């Protein structure tokens, strides 16, 4: 067994796990509740494509950036999901729904980001207000 796992391996393992836990804890705190006037922001190829209120149900077809294809973004009951996509891996579709401020769905092949920006008069969605 000794040649499989050494002391340094265990230390490295613990360091990596602690890093992961720390990062995920930090990230879960930055997810604010979306609030009443939260917005759904859709970006394509790094540029803003459209912004919609989270409270209104609607379905939008977003053309893919650069190449052929599209993603269908559905806003329903305060939740957003990518219901259909032309991309090969369908990761964005399997991602499911998001509803909290700061959460996002990413489709890499089509270079699409759908994210929720928390509303409210105070700081907004944490760091979202810094970048905007």
Site for other proteins in 87-106 (CB under 8 A): 88-89, 91, 94-95, 103-104, 106
* Radius of gyration over every alpha carbon of the chain, rounded to an integer in angstroms: 19
Cα angle 131, 36, 102 (rounded to 5 degrees) comes to: 35
Given the complex with other proteins, which of 50 and 56 has the nearer CB atom? 50
Rule CB under 8 A: is residue 68 a binding residue for other proteins? no
Least Cα distance to 32 among 130, 120, 131 occurs for 120
Which position among 49, 70, 72, 111 is part of the footprint of other proteins (CB under 8 A)?
111
**Main-chain phi, psi angles of 95, to 5 degrees:** -60, -30
Rule CB under 8 A: is residue 43 a binding residue for other proteins? yes
Q: Which residue has the tokens 């930055």?
A: 30
Q: How far apart are CA 42 and CA 29, in angstroms?
A: 23
Rule CB under 8 A: is residue 23 a binding residue for other proteins? yes
Chain residues in the site for other proteins (CB under 8 A): 3-6, 8-9, 12-13, 16-17, 19-21, 23-24, 27, 43, 46, 88-89, 91, 94-95, 103-104, 106, 108-109, 111, 113, 115
């Amino acid at each position: 067994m000794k040649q499989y796992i050494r002391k340094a391996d265990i230390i490295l393992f613990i360091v990596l796990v602690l890093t992961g836990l720390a990062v995920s804890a930090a990230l879960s705190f930055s997810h604010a509740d979306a609030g009443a006037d939260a917005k759904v922001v859709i970006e394509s190829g790094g540029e803003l494509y459209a912004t919609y209120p989270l409270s209104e149900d609607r379905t939008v077809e977003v053309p893919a950036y650069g190449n052929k294809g599209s993603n269908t973004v559905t806003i329903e009951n305060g939740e957003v999901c990518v219901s259909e996509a032309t991309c090969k891996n369908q990761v964005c579709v399997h991602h499911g729904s998001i509803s909290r401020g700061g959460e996002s769905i990413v489709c890499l092949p089509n270079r699409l980001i759908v994210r929720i920006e928390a509303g409210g008069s105070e700081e907004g969605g944490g760091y979202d207000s810094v970048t905007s």
